[in-house]
Structure 1
Amino acid sequence: MSDHEALLKELLATFAIEAQEHLDALSSHLLALEREEEEAGRQRLLEGVFRRVHTLKGAAHAVNLADVAHDCQELEEVLAEIKRGEAEFGVEIFDLLHREINRLSARIFPAGAPTAAPGAAQQGASQTAPHSPLPTAPTPPVIAVTTAQAPTPAQPRHAAPIHGADETVRVSARLLETLLLHSEELVSAKLAASVLQEELSTLVGEVAERGAERDRALAAARRAVKKGTGGEASLAGLLEQGCLHERTVEGRLRLLEKSAEKHTRSLQALVDPLLEEMKKLQLLPCSSILDPFAKLVRDLTRELGKEADFSLSGGELEFDRRILAELKEPLLHLVRNTVDHGIELPQAREAAGKPRRGTVSVEVRLQDANRAELILADDGCGIDLEQVKRSALRRELATEETLARMPDAEALQFIFESGLSTSGTISSISGRGVGLAIVRETLERLGGHVSVTSMPGTGTTFRLVFPLSFARMRALLVQVAGRDCAIPAAVVELSARVPLSEVKRVENRDTVVAAGEVLPLVSLAGILETGRRSIEPDVTVSYVILRAADRRIAFAVDQVLGVQEILVKPLGRQLSRVRNVAGATVLGSGRVVPVLNVADLFRSALGGGAAVASLPLANTPARQARVSVLVAEDSITSRTLLKNILEASGFLVRTAVDGADAMAQLKTDPCDVVVSDIEMPRMDGFELTRSIRADAKLASLPVILVTGLESRTDRERGIDVGASAYLVKSSFDQTNLIEVIQKLT
């Protein structure tokens, strides 16, 4: 490449950066100009637009881009007519100006290169066939890095530059990212140093523990040297030398321990600030990706014959540019779906008593020190829940019975399933049922989640929760089937231990009571398919409660090891997607530990079935006698059915017509387990269970409630009165009942 060609390439790269800034500013200025009602404000904004276009024209001339300069000249003429009063502000004028900006964007940045705003380049490309004045391979993006604080306005212009002068430099984003990745690698070095220092301290402690024993041996050796002769004296001398040498080694170890501790502190003092400063270099205000959506909303509403305003709150909050880059595509899908599906036509809004113009708002806020939340809301027609259920049924995502029992808030989440769409037509904007699946997948890949709420005729709200840091995080280390795993600490609510006797069966699932709430208890080893160790009846169960969106599940683990900072590594191309695993990390000891994908864990726990999720109990010795079961059921049909099922499985069965009859039988003829309905005359199943628990002789008798009452309140009441298991008739499976009886007896 000649020097002239190299210079031209560098100039074109610089022009691309400058042009992107001008195009972004032009789009924002035009939107503000369209909303401005004061004449003075309009003239000020118009002058700003005119100057931006003029500057862009001069820059295009400087790099010999005649076509771009010609387009800028034509746009200048339109703006000049407006300034002279020969053209009035109106919808047609603003549409013309936006089209011209789109055409400029498409000409400067052809397909594959950066664009001024999501969606804008595509529209511009459809209106004109742009030339390709810039190189076909886009140049690396750059970031303006501020190196110091701005000077005060009172500082004299001729004053010599001081340390606090405001200076910025343009640095390739690729270079910044590389530097950040190298800096993050120091976390592993810091962890390794900490582990070595801890091991050295442990070794010093072990040697020091032998101090008294060594002193006694040394004293005995010296006495033996004085009294002994020949071989005994020689052996005692060797022992004395060994003790003295060990004391010398202990002294050197203590010096090494102090030195290691000092160097570890120094390394930590260097690494932590370095990482924080490098993170700041990657921070960008979220408005950098959200501001262009105002133009996108305007363009889409104009295309669809609708009217809507876009508002942004919290755009000044800064996040890692890598996270913002990941969020850009899902937000694009959400905004397009919101305008297409949510916002009604002006006539329909007026007929519903709404303003002609709809609203699309985005609010960004911090949840805590580790997570942020983005709320996208509209005041449109809402989501047709029945249509969502029909689509889910058609795609076999759930059965009719499941959908009938499912809460509306849970059924609404089906919109994030791939291929599910409530749109009857397919257009260039939406209707294929792919966009929202991309939203969920992206958020889960980031370690966050998305949820939706909707009110018919009122509007829809999407909530996106995502981490603030892309790679570094605090994680809870747990041991599962003898293997270490890491769980993002941001989703961990608490960890605890309970006696196995406090684990109850509800609807054929293990449950545990935490903070007054009954939560499903799932074997993490069963979910991960790592091979489960049997739990003895007299041991305690360790578990961690995780939260994803509005769900909470307790996962049983072997033990909780503690919380530490980790650096998450991707699995690589060969293992780009592994169920239940989001990545891996290297501990200070050098061991590679998987980082679990919480969203996958929840899907596996809820869809894997009781056999996978239940705790693996140790086999108890087989009973010599047949297990006796008392069935309390007022319906003769149900009573006969249960009796036949249990007798066919080898149980000794007798029946009672209600709770009072069952209690009377138990006082004269006890059994091994009681299976009872709830809704019965004289004494219902709750009262029967309470009476059994209140009787000293029957208090430990297992009670299984089999009922049609499936509300959360009824299940919790069953646990409160002391039921050992709670099975719902709508999902009744005779195999489940038999397994529960076998486990309880």
Structure 2
Amino acid sequence: MSDRELLNIFWVEVAEYLEALNNMLLQIETIPDGNRHGLLREMNRVAHSMKGAARAVGIGVIETVAHYMEEVFNAGLENHLQLTPDICDTLYDGLDVIQNSAKGGESDKEMLAQVLAHLEQIIAITKVGDQKTASQTTSAVAPDGHKKSSQTVPQVSAPAPPSATPLHTATHEMRVVSASHNHAIPNSAPLEKGEAQTMMLRPSEDTIRVAVNKLDRLMAEASELLVARMHGEERQRQLNHLRRMHARWQKEWRSVRAAYIRLVRRLQDKDDEMAAELAEMFTFLELNQRNLSETMRFLGQLAQNVVQDNMHLSALAEQLQDDISAMRMIPFESIVGGFQRMVRDLARDMGKQVQLDVTSTAVELDKTVLDALKDPIMHLLRNAIDHGIEAPGDRDAAKKPIAGRIVLAVEQRGSEILVRVADDGRGIDPARVRASAVRSGIISEVDAAGLSDEEARLLIFQPGLTTSASVTAVSGRGLGMDIVRDRVENMRGRVSVQSILGRGTTITLSVPVSLTRIRCILLRVGSEEYAVPSNMVVRMEKMARTNVFTAEGRDVVLINEHPLPLTALGSLLDTPLLHSDADQDKLSVLVLRAADRQIAFEVDDLYSEQELVLKALGPEIARARYVAGAALLGSGDVIIVLDANDLVRGASGIALPKRRRLLEAPSAQHQRLRVLVVDDSITTRTLEKNILETAGFEVHVAIDGFEGWRMVNEIDLDVIVCDVEMPNMNGLELTQRIKDSPSLRDIPVILLTSLSKPEQREAGLRAGANAYLVKSQFDQGELLQTIQDVL
């Protein structure tokens, strides 16, 4: 096995270790000290295994941190240490250091040094053997951002792991200068019943790991099988049509044949030459009729075989699709640990007590769907903590439990996945939302006053709206709920909100189980055929035009005794309806539901439901109004799949949001956008310049804030990506100058820096930055997405 292959196996193994340790740390904070022994022993074993694996491949950073964590867990096992929340903060930071190393990012040397210093101090304290001293003193060792302390960290020599054998291709290495000391590891005895509920899952010997892109390719090929099945079904219909045509011809032939026979007999009696020619022609026709009948008999057998083959192909294609889908399914609980960790850290940073309860974790989702849901769920949880859950004093005054409660529930209902995030916080104040929307210029005072409370709550999904009174690292920029809506709607899903002032808020995301296969209702508008996702359709029917009446200046139709606005779909699609004389008194109605609204649409015709395989849109139509995608019909024709959310908004007179398609090709608009990159590192400037130019932007660069300020005043810019720590003028000063200038303040500024502490983030956002990204967590997709968001 090559070194590269060994490293690939190691990184997969590290991911498993990190997930297990993160989950066990979350669990150990919630159970009494006396019941922690089993978990500590398992955590000690996992840290020891990770240390050994890191030593084998020569990854010094991971080996060192894992060794120190092992020492902490061992001290807890020997009752020399209590794992207080502050110590857990340090351990979490250690996991973050390892996670960053595993992702291939540059080590944050300042963060790494802090983590190692804190771990060294914790270990040194345990050597004293005084349990009281250990539990009291360790409260001062939490890293910055978790607990502010004026105490300095003493320089204590700590045990270091044995030196690792270097691996020639290892790319992550760090030299740790410290005293050499080996520690015996206690034997891992079997866990007692009930001691540890979180266990490390190891792959069995009959398990292999397959790259996700291979499964994606296999799924795409299986989808082509479904398309081939639809083609086969279309050929079967064509054969059946041909057989029906032959049956009609046979019927006509029998009547013509009888007339021929009578005619020939009459002419034969006259011994006419014409009779002989007619008889010869009749014989020729009879022979061809028999040949045609034999051909059609063979064609009938062929049609039966095609039916059987199509049934067999259909069954195999469905089974293959199901099997591949099953391989791609991931339990929702696999991402729960990250949510729990985020909720814990954010609640501590904000001085709140929050309990996150997750239900239905056994639900399995396709990896693509699960990945697409992570960001929306993260936004909802952050929003619930920041805007929903009150501070402890406010909750106590409202006679609520001090600890706020957030429930994250997931369930599969038919062909949909429902995700609910509910909190018991202050709820959404419609009056406050109206005021914020008016202040942000989203809606006029007159229009805001005419909104119902339910409609006012939906304004939280408008870009730029925030009810936060101040800018923090969590809120205040209005870039949150609109991203949730756009991400969900890009998955052909929908978002709904229920809230009771003073009691809490529930936000529900509904998304399809599969993003490639979709059941659609086929319809016709004018001479064009379209498809609409079935999960967005409430009702479809033909009704008399007498059911249509006018109210408040627009057409309305009664559906189940409820009046719904009626819109001609052709008016949105710029396609006129084609009414035949027979249909003048009838109309076909399709009712769509999106964003807690229902709208009835008039169409020319409605067909049956059909399963379609979605195809990627080209850049020319990826941003077209009312278009969600395209699919192939069995005939080979392409049909446009309409975006029900956009249709409902368009019919309601609501402005359509800018589409945020993460995988789309750069548009002509992108090519016109000018970006200024300000960074004193030539490597970073070059990297960012290449990324942005590849994405289609026009990129200018500056080596520090002073030069950046000059270029801002000389070039008409659309967005600025800026470092913080630079000579002459730093990024905060440059951002402050830009935001203080009336002519420049509207230019979005994105700070991309290695400074990751919460107070450093807040300083950047207070200076006026529109977004704050950390280099150690840098991802080019996130940078491009953030630019889209701030624009």
TM-score by length of 1: 0.72
In structure 2, do the counterparts of structure 1 residues 279 and 170 end up closer, same or farther at CA, with 3 Å as the change threshold? Answer: same
Q: 2:100 aligns with which of 106, 121, 132?
A: 106
Q: CA deviation at 1:166?
A: 8.5
Q: 1:290 aligns with which of 330, 336, 350?
A: 336
Distance 2:378 2:481 in 1: 10
Residue equivalent to 1:382:
427
Q: CA deviation at 1:124?
A: 9.7
Q: 1:20 aligns with which of 15, 19, 25?
A: 15
Contact 1:222 1:237 survives alignment (8 Å): no
Q: Deviations over 1:638-691 (max 9, x none)?
A: xxxxxxxxxxxxxxxxxxxxxxxxxxxxxxxxxxxxxxxxxxxxxxxxxxxxxx
SS at match of 2:15: helix
Distance 1:569 1:219 in 2: 55
Residue equivalent to 1:46:
40
Q: 1:218 aligns with which of 257, 264, 276?
A: 257
Q: Does 1:522 align with 2:567?
A: yes
Contact 2:331 2:361 survives alignment (8 Å): yes
In structure 2, do the counterparts of structure 1 residues 83 and 209 end up closer, same or farther at CA, with 3 Å as the change threshold? Answer: same
In structure 2, do the counterparts of structure 1 residues 182 and 18 end up closer, same or farther at CA, with 3 Å as the change threshold? Answer: same
Q: CA deviation at 1:318?
A: 0.7
Distance 1:533 1:420 in 2: 42
Identity %: 33
In structure 2, do the counterparts of structure 1 residues 252 and 193 end up closer, same or farther at CA, with 3 Å as the change threshold? Answer: same
Residue equivalent to 2:787:
none
Residue equivalent to 2:476:
431
Alignment of 1:63-212 (within 5 A): 63-111=57-105, 167-212=206-251
Q: Deviations over 1:582-612 (max 9, x none)?
A: 0011100111100010100001100079xxx
Q: CA deviation at 1:55?
A: 0.5
Q: Deviations over 1:114-145 (max 9, x none)?
A: xxxxxxx9x99999xxxx99769xxxxxxxxx
Q: Point out the more displaced range, 331-340 or 390-399.
A: 390-399
Distance 2:91 2:388 in 1: 27
Distance 1:287 1:592 in 2: 38
Q: Point out the more displaced range, 73-82 or 326-335.
A: 73-82
Alignment of 1:403-414 (within 5 A): 403-414=448-459
Residue equivalent to 1:300:
346
Contact 1:475 1:488 survives alignment (8 Å): yes
Q: Deviations over 1:710-741 (max 9, x none)?
A: xxxxxxxxxxxxxxxxxxxxxxxxxxxxxxxx
Contact 1:221 1:240 survives alignment (8 Å): no
Residue equivalent to 1:231:
277
Q: Which amino acid aligns with 1:251?
A: R
Q: Point out the more displaced range, 476-485 or 87-96.
A: 87-96
Q: CA RMSD in A?
A: 2.6
SS at match of 2:448: helix
Q: 1:394 aligns with which of 429, 439, 446?
A: 439
Q: Deviations over 1:697-722 (max 9, x none)?
A: xxxxxxxxxxxxxxxxxxxxxxxxxx
Q: Deviations over 1:494-519 (max 9, x none)?
A: 21112223211111111111111111
Distance 1:124 1:474 in 2: 52
Residue equivalent to 1:479:
524
Residue equivalent to 1:724:
none
Q: Which amino acid aligns with 1:168?
A: T
**Structure 2 unaligned spans of 5+:** 108-114, 116-141, 147-166, 173-203, 656-791
Distance 2:171 2:460 in 1: 41
In structure 2, do the counterparts of structure 1 residues 363 and 571 end up closer, same or farther at CA, with 3 Å as the change threshold? Answer: same
Residue equivalent to 2:740:
none
Residue equivalent to 2:544:
499
Contact 2:358 2:408 survives alignment (8 Å): yes
Q: 2:290 aligns with which of 237, 244, 247?
A: 244
SS at match of 1:330: helix
Distance 1:250 1:104 in 2: 72
Distance 2:17 2:144 in 1: 19
Q: CA deviation at 1:373?
A: 1.0
Distance 1:390 1:239 in 2: 87
Q: Deviations over 1:70-122 (max 9, x none)?
A: 11112222222222222223232222222222232233334499xxxxxxx9x
Distance 1:221 1:249 in 2: 23
In structure 2, do the counterparts of structure 1 residues 225 and 564 end up closer, same or farther at CA, with 3 Å as the change threshold? Answer: same
Contact 1:287 1:315 survives alignment (8 Å): yes
Distance 2:502 2:545 in 1: 49
Q: CA deviation at 1:332?
A: 1.5
Alignment of 1:241-390 (within 5 A): 241-366=287-412, 368-390=413-435
Residue equivalent to 2:557:
512
SS at match of 2:208: strand
Q: CA deviation at 1:192?
A: 0.8
Q: CA deviation at 1:197?
A: 0.3
Residue equivalent to 2:589:
543
In structure 2, do the counterparts of structure 1 residues 83 and 38 end up closer, same or farther at CA, with 3 Å as the change threshold? Answer: closer
Residue equivalent to 2:758:
none
In structure 2, do the counterparts of structure 1 residues 233 and 80 end up closer, same or farther at CA, with 3 Å as the change threshold? Answer: closer
Contact 2:331 2:363 survives alignment (8 Å): yes
SS at match of 1:35: coil
Contact 2:227 2:632 survives alignment (8 Å): yes
In structure 2, do the counterparts of structure 1 residues 372 and 528 end up closer, same or farther at CA, with 3 Å as the change threshold? Answer: same
**Structure 1 unaligned spans of 5+:** 1-5, 114-120, 137-164, 610-745
Residue equivalent to 1:719:
none
Contact 2:89 2:143 survives alignment (8 Å): no
Residue equivalent to 2:763:
none
Q: Which amino acid aligns with 1:365?
A: E
SS at match of 1:574: coil
In structure 2, do the counterparts of structure 1 residues 324 and 124 end up closer, same or farther at CA, with 3 Å as the change threshold? Answer: farther
Distance 2:634 2:354 in 1: 54
Distance 1:89 1:281 in 2: 39
Distance 2:462 2:580 in 1: 37
In structure 2, do the counterparts of structure 1 residues 166 and 369 end up closer, same or farther at CA, with 3 Å as the change threshold? Answer: farther
Contact 1:570 1:582 survives alignment (8 Å): no
SS at match of 2:546: helix
Between Structure 1 and Structure 2, how many residues are aligned?
562
In structure 2, do the counterparts of structure 1 residues 565 and 379 end up closer, same or farther at CA, with 3 Å as the change threshold? Answer: same
Q: CA deviation at 1:248?
A: 2.7
Q: CA deviation at 1:234?
A: 3.4
Q: CA deviation at 1:38?
A: 5.5
SS at match of 1:168: coil
Q: CA deviation at 1:526?
A: 0.8
In structure 2, do the counterparts of structure 1 residues 8 and 111 end up closer, same or farther at CA, with 3 Å as the change threshold? Answer: same
Q: CA deviation at 1:219?
A: 4.3
Q: Does 1:57 align with 2:51?
A: yes
Residue equivalent to 1:670:
none
Distance 1:351 1:572 in 2: 56
Q: Which amino acid aligns with 1:171?
A: V
Q: 1:595 aligns with which of 619, 638, 641?
A: 641
Q: 1:566 aligns with which of 612, 615, 620?
A: 612
Q: CA deviation at 1:350?
A: 1.8
Residue equivalent to 2:186:
none
Contact 2:577 2:603 survives alignment (8 Å): no
Contact 2:332 2:361 survives alignment (8 Å): yes
Alignment of 1:563-712 (within 5 A): 563-607=609-653
SS at match of 2:620: helix
SS at match of 1:244: helix
Contact 2:593 2:648 survives alignment (8 Å): no
SS at match of 2:210: strand
Q: Does 1:462 align with 2:501?
A: no
